Amino acid sequence: MRQEGFLDALAEAHRKNQPFAVATVIRVEGSASARTGSKAILNYQGKNDFGWVGGGCAEKFVGENATQAIEENQTRIVTAILDDEIFGLGVACGGKMDVFIEPVLPKEILQMPRLEGLSAKDAEYFAASRGWQLEWQPRVQQISSFADFLILLAQSLVQTRNRTGLPLRELKNLPVRFVGGSLDLLPFACVNVVWPLRKLVLVGKSRIVESLAKLGVQLGWSVRVLSPSFSPDSLQQNSDSERFPAAVICECIHDSYDHVGFHEGECVVIASHLPVDALLVQKALEKQAVYVAMIGSRTRALEVCEKLNWSAGSALDLPFFLPAGLDMDARNPDEIALSVICEILLLKFPTRVL
């Protein structure tokens, strides 16, 4: 199959704005008409609109699974066994193949009030670049900043996906409770809040960090990115920092992180996924960062609590957020970044930190 032909068909499937699935043969054993790497585009009824993943027996089987994958919005790997008559066609091909099926759904529709203070075209472009389609409601909402728009966008995601919008750290049943760094959830009901300048420090280099940095710059915040993978030479040549907006300060730090510099009043997000993460949390809290968060799972949270000797059942007056972000069913780096940024936006600065 010509790659450009498949890409053209894929673009056409997207333009139809209907759910479909891409099936890819990832392994073939024995006799089969398809080959490893063969692809097909199947519509929501399981009909093959383009490509090839085998003859009638295999195509019917893959089509049925594609329909189920679309309904569940879950990828799956299926094995088509072609050396018996399980498909009821009376044909034994003599082999088997594994097929990866990936559902592709239309852009998610988010209900939004009509905005006064932000161009509808700009809002739609921002949403479309992240896979969402805005549907404007009759209600009019006056907003004063890009931050207000992000809060409204997060609110719409929460409602569309039937989530709570609460901090994930409150929902993961952690053995330690953090009472410092509370959130003001009022803006979820009423925006028009004047946001103070935030100083955002990101540790690590990943798609999530890139998305966080871009949002931080769009909000007018001061943004620093720290990573041992930055090298002085690459920073001079701009090969590492080119993935970040020009306003972002990229700093090379040693693998030991001994001289990492955090400062009072900063919002620190740790996304390095390294053994020293717990030490970084401690450093940031000691320097009176107003928001310290880690991208990670509940298992990661338990590891950090153990390394920092936080005893089970204790309530700590610390602005620590792990897992980071709000409960909005974030599904990719851009959505995770939005979740974390909105958590920072809703932060009420504590009167006392460590």
Kindly indicate whether the domain formed by 167-188+195-345 is annotated with CATH number 3.40.50.720.
yes
Give the residue-averaged pLDDT of 11-33: 89
CA distance 11 to 14: 5
Which residues face 132 on adjacent strands? 108
Question: What pLDDT does residue 84 have?
Answer: 56
Note the pLDDT of residue 289. 92
What band does 82 get if pLDDT is binned at 50, 70 and 90? Answer: confident
pLDDT tens, residue by residue, 224-248: 999 877 765 554 445 555 788 889 9
Structure tokens at 181: 């760094």
Strands (E) across the chain are located at 20-30, 39-43, 48-51, 76-81, 95-104, 108-116, 132-142, 177-178, 199-203, 222-227, 249-252, 266-270, 291-294, 315-316, 320-321
Alpha-carbon separation of residue 330 from 57, 157, 208, 290 (angstroms): 38, 9, 11, 24
Q: Could you tell me which of 178, 181, 203 has the C-alpha nearest to residue 288?
A: 181
Residue 114, pLDDT > 90, answer: yes
pTM of the model: 0.80
Q: Report how far residue 252's alpha carbon sits from residue 97's, in angstroms, rounded to the nearest whole number.
A: 47
Bridge partners (DSSP) listed for residue 134: 110
Confidence label for 351 from pLDDT (cuts 50, 70 and 90): very low
Kindly tell me if the per-residue pLDDT of 180 is higher than 60. Answer: yes
| pLDDT at site 182 | 74
**pLDDT tops 80 at residue 190:** no
Q: What is the pLDDT of residue 80?
A: 86
* 197 has pLDDT over 90: no
What mean pLDDT, rounded, does the chain reach? 84
- Domain borders along the chain are 3-104, 167-188+195-345
The H-assigned helical ranges of the chain are 3-15, 56-72, 120-128, 146-160, 207-218, 232-237, 277-286, 298-307, 333-345
- Tell whether the model's pLDDT for residue 352 goes beyond 50: no
Q: What pLDDT digit, counting tens, does each position of 250-262 carry? A: 888 776 666 778 9
pLDDT tens for 155-176 read 999 999 999 999 998 888 788 8
DSSP 186: G
**Among the ranges given (32-36, 39-43, 186-190, 306-310), the one the predictor scored with the smallest mean pLDDT:** 186-190
- Percentage of the chain beyond pLDDT 90 is 51
Per-residue pLDDT for 292 more than 90?
Answer: yes
How sure is the predictor about 15, in pLDDT bands with cuts at 50, 70 and 90? confident
pLDDT for the residue numbered 89: 39
